[in-house]
Amino acid sequence: MQSGVAGLPSRSEADFNRVASRVDASAEEFCHELRAGAPSGSCAFRFVVSGDGSEPPNAFQSLASDGSPLITMTASLLAQARDDNEIATVLSHEAAHHVGGHIARMDANAPSHAFFPKFQAAILGASGVEPVIGDYGAGSGARARGRALELEADWIGTFIAERSGYDTAKGAGIYARSGAKTGRSTLVTSSHPSLSRRLEVVLAARSEIHRQRAAGLTPRLTYAEAAAR
């Protein structure tokens, strides 16, 4: 595989597997925390690299035939990663889509706010980030719904990556540099929020994580919700 970043060694599938194994453990923990009572195997993640490097850079979450979550990163996007932090940030974001039940929630007939208000309140409580809930209400369409779910995945994904031992402030650089259409493959590019908006949410989540650690806690999404009440 050729490196996508001049002057840096190419990231290999071995790098991917090493990072994925750590993200997998944390993603499964968060999945069980937020999806209590879900069917057996619904939190059994599988992470794969797809393609030969010639495809457009992308990453997405889907469901395998048995209903288990499948996280795919293209070889072309892996080649553009500078370090493990960037790989972990992408994989954690995609795993967060499953933790948040986003495939089902993209259905126009699905309940819009299954998780989102809780994390919306947590985001605002942590950093005063401008609300996005107004872009998410009934009648706003699939693109607005998709943008809101992308921000929720950034919030949840930051918790997953940080629990895995990775720095999402460094890892988020891959979004700006790659030009990748990160997010689920069913979403069009215009459904993704601006880079600056996404970075705001990542930094807000990191601030909340640091607050919890300073209080002697193992960072959890539920603690953030409680603090926002």
Place of tokens 């039940």: 101
pLDDT (tens digit per residue) in 93-135:
999 999 988 888 777 565 555 555 566 666 655 555 555 444 4
Instruction: With cut-offs at 50, 70 and 90, classify the pLDDT of residue 184.
Output: very low
pLDDT tops 80 at residue 228: no
pLDDT of residue 82: 92
Residue bearing the bigger pLDDT, 1 or 99:
99
pLDDT tops 70 at residue 174: yes
Contact indicator for 225, 121 with CB cutoff of 8 Å: yes
Contact indicator for 224, 201 with CB cutoff of 8 Å: no
Is position 59 within any domain?
yes
pLDDT of residue 190: 53
Is position 36 within any domain?
yes
pLDDT of residue 3: 37
Is position 223 within any domain?
yes
Helices 221-228 and 195-214: crossing angle, nearest 10°? 90
Return all residues near 89 (Cβ < 8 A) that are at least 6 apart: 157, 161, 166, 168, 171, 172, 174
Domain span at residue 158 reads 13-228
pLDDT of residue 161: 98
Residue bearing the bigger pLDDT, 41 or 2:
41
Residue bearing the bigger pLDDT, 56 or 143:
56
pLDDT (tens digit per residue) in 33-71:
888 777 878 999 999 999 888 888 899 999 999 889 999
How many domains does the chain contain in total?
Answer: 1
Angle CA(114)–CA(226)–CA(171) in degrees, nearest 5? 75
**Cα–chain-centroid distance for residue 17?**
18
| β-bridge partners, 71 | 47, 61
To the nearest whole number, what is the mean pLDDT of the chain?
A: 80
Question: What are φ and ψ of residue 169, in 5° steps?
Answer: -65, -40
pTM of structure: 0.83
Is position 61 within any domain?
yes
Is position 70 within any domain?
yes
DSSP 8-state code for residue 153: H
Is position 26 within any domain?
yes
Q: What is the mean pLDDT of residues 148-163?
A: 93
Work out the percent of the chain whose per-residue pLDDT is above 90.
44
Residue bearing the bigger pLDDT, 55 or 180:
55
pLDDT of residue 186: 30
Is position 8 within any domain?
no
Is position 6 within any domain?
no
pLDDT (tens digit per residue) in 78-96:
999 999 999 999 999 999 9
pLDDT tops 90 at residue 154: yes
Q: What is the mean pLDDT of residues 138-142?
A: 56
Q: Give the start-end residues of each E strand in the chain.
A: 46-50, 58-63, 69-74, 181-182
